[in-house]
Structure 1
Amino acid sequence: MPKYVLTGADGNLGGVAADFAVEIAKPEDELVFTSYTLDSIPADKLKRWQDKGVKVVAASYDEPETLKPVFQGAEAVSFISTWLIGDRRRSQAKNVIDTAKACGVKRICYTSFVGAGSTAENEEDIPFLPRDHHFVEQQIYASGLQYSIQRNFLYADNIPNFFAPSWKFTENRWLTNTHGSRGAYVARDDCGRVQAALLLGRGEPNHVYDVTGPEAVSHEEIFDFMCKETGYKAEFVDMSDEKLKKYWLGRGLPVNVYGDFSQMRVSGRVGWTSYTFSGSVRRHFTSGPNSLPSGNPLDFHSTLQRKQFSH
């Protein structure tokens, strides 16, 4: 009776992964879901999982002693980074990896980020967003554990929540330095389904999957779509790196913060967000013993059209 542990089941991504794991698990599979506190899981969802035979327990990345009894005897453990950035986030990941190895877990699964496979010799040369993920991946490789890693692209779901509201801060404009480059924004639900599938042994062993949307879109296309759906009137402004820097520093952004901020934007333009199609994942969105979720990945427009917009 193989045991599979999904941590972070209370989160947006983890919740999708948990539901899909329940859906595709075999009768002999033992599923264990964790959250830092069970209070963060809606009561109806918790009951639904438990009624399906899932064991749901509290365990914290910050407290390895809470992870040990959960990881004992597990075939595979899947974990998701928290929103923390820097040393504490890295420490949490190391706690999970070290505890998994000490408990005899055979395989570790991790939700990483596109760009984490950078071969830069100096960490400072790795784009800001995937920097911690690059560190975590290196820890996984060094552990000697089998692994299944997915590098998710930016979520299309976050555009209405984060991108669009920021335009009011910039005088009803979207300021960008991407100059028409495109990115394959991905549906978070697809990332969650891939996570569950990898945890339960689908896909190839010791393999890294770039999980992106099936089409690449530009910032201008995103902007036009959001304005059309919401009736919002604004201006799209494509700026040079230098002009964008001057603007943000003029708004009072500290120089040391701008260093990370600008690297994130410029890196998007020159490569690490310029993925076009999720070929590796799309090939596995089929049926078969080693396939990932069946069906087709959601495209950008389909993902956003599921959102509720206020006009």
Structure 2
Amino acid sequence: MQILVTGATGNLGSAVIETLLKNIPSQNIYALVREEEKILEIKAKGINVFQGDYDNVYDLESAMANVDTVLLISAGDQGDRMQQHRNVIDTAKKSGVKNIAYTSRAMRNRETLAHQLMEEHFLTEDYIKASGLNYTIFRNTLYMDVLPIFVGKQVFEKGIFQPAGDGKVAFALRKEMGEAMANVMSNEACENKTYKFTNNEAYSFYDIAKALTTLSGKEVKYHPVDISTFQERMRPTGIPEPMLQKVVEFNTDIKNGQEEEITHDLENKLGRKPITLKEGLKTLFGL
């Protein structure tokens, strides 16, 4: 099996490659990277490296010339994400790639999403299924790694202010999801399956506040504010309005239960229980 990992130098791509190197020979791993300065570092691991991005079809063709499986790590939202995804999928089909995997999102109901960028994940899934390629869809839960950003640098002094109500998220570490994805790709046939990688428990911001209180010895309170109050608190920080809107939409989906679904797919593919919220926060906050 020859596997191409796109977005190979990002946090998720790096986690996937780290485990692939343990599972299969390095010469069977291909990486697509944007930054020229990262090429030598990856080549030193014995990996086949190609510079390029999702907008350049010629780069994609070069990277896919000798592979049978492509992992499409979802693009950021700075460009035309759907066109970028279509470029990768179309090029894979044209190049004779047999299998494609995609990093989607574990949302409960695509019909009631507040965060419309999440709908692009489902549209990409639809496009993959219509392509005729064998596929594996990895629907990943919200990264536990983003919690320090969500709750802010002054969380131990001011507490947590989010418009998420009592909503819960089955937060899991990005590194563990990357590990599980690599295990699936290197050990299983690509048979049109969808995995939902979540933790074994869903957590509210009340749970996060309680865990941070226990770990730090400082009382942290969660204040479930309404959207307008949240926006008023955030605007003086200088956060760009589009980013603020995205944060509001994330929280709205959390409040509406979009992120609370639990499966044991992650545990099964890791071969162990995922790191719990408390264990993860201890590492993420250096407590």
Does the 8 Å contact 1:108/1:148 carry over to 2? yes
2:181 maps to a residue whose letter is Q
**Offset at residue 176 of structure 1 (A):** 2.8
For 1:289, the equivalent position in structure 2 comes to: none
Question: In structure 1, what is the Cα distance between the partners aligned to 2:240 and 2:51?
Answer: 39
For 2:223, the equivalent position in structure 1 comes to: 237
Secondary structure in structure 1 of the residue aligned to 2:110:
coil
Does the 8 Å contact 1:128/1:264 carry over to 2? no
**Offset at residue 280 of structure 1 (A):** 3.1
Question: In structure 2, what is the Cα distance between the partners aligned to 1:119 and 1:256?
Answer: 22
Q: 1:115 to 1:42 in 2, by over 3 A?
A: farther
For 1:130, the equivalent position in structure 2 comes to: 118
Q: Specify which of 157, 176, 192 is matched with residue 145 of structure 2.
A: 157
Question: In structure 2, what is the Cα distance between the partners aligned to 1:30 and 1:300?
Answer: 35
Question: In structure 2, what is the Cα distance between the partners aligned to 1:10 and 1:28?
Answer: 16
Q: How does 1:1-311 map to 2 (within 5 A)?
A: 2-25=1-24, 30-40=28-38, 43=41, 46-47=43-44, 49-50=45-46, 54-85=47-78, 88-115=80-107, 118-119=110-111, 127-160=115-148, 162-165=149-152, 172-202=158-188, 205-230=191-216, 235-239=221-225, 243-248=226-231, 261-275=247-261, 277-282=262-267, 285=268, 292-307=269-284, 309=286
Deviating more after overlay: 108-117 vs 301-310:
301-310
Q: 1:296 to 1:235 in 2, by over 3 A?
A: closer
Does the 8 Å contact 2:16/2:178 carry over to 1? yes
Does the 8 Å contact 1:4/1:75 carry over to 2? yes
Secondary structure in structure 2 of the residue aligned to 1:200:
helix
Secondary structure in structure 2 of the residue aligned to 1:296:
coil
Which structure carries more helix by proportion?
A: 2
Sequence identity (%): 23
Does the 8 Å contact 1:3/1:76 carry over to 2? yes
Deviating more after overlay: 61-70 vs 175-184:
175-184
Does the 8 Å contact 1:116/1:134 carry over to 2? no
Q: What is the TM-score with the length of structure 2 in the denominator?
A: 0.85
Per-residue CA deviations over 1:151-185 (Å, capped at 9, x if unaligned) read 1111112212x0232656xx924223433332210
**Offset at residue 129 of structure 1 (A):** 4.8
Q: 1:251 to 1:3 in 2, by over 3 A?
A: closer
Per-residue CA deviations over 1:257-310 (Å, capped at 9, x if unaligned) read 7765544322211221112x332333xx2xxxxxx3433322222223233527
Does the 8 Å contact 2:12/2:178 carry over to 1? yes
Q: 1:308 to 1:245 in 2, by over 3 A?
A: closer
Question: In structure 2, what is the Cα distance between the partners aligned to 1:228 and 1:88?
Answer: 43
Aligned length: 283
Q: Gaps spanning 5+ residues in structure 1: where?
A: 286-291
Q: 1:222 to 1:106 in 2, by over 3 A?
A: same
1:6 maps to a residue whose letter is V
Q: 1:108 to 1:126 in 2, by over 3 A?
A: farther
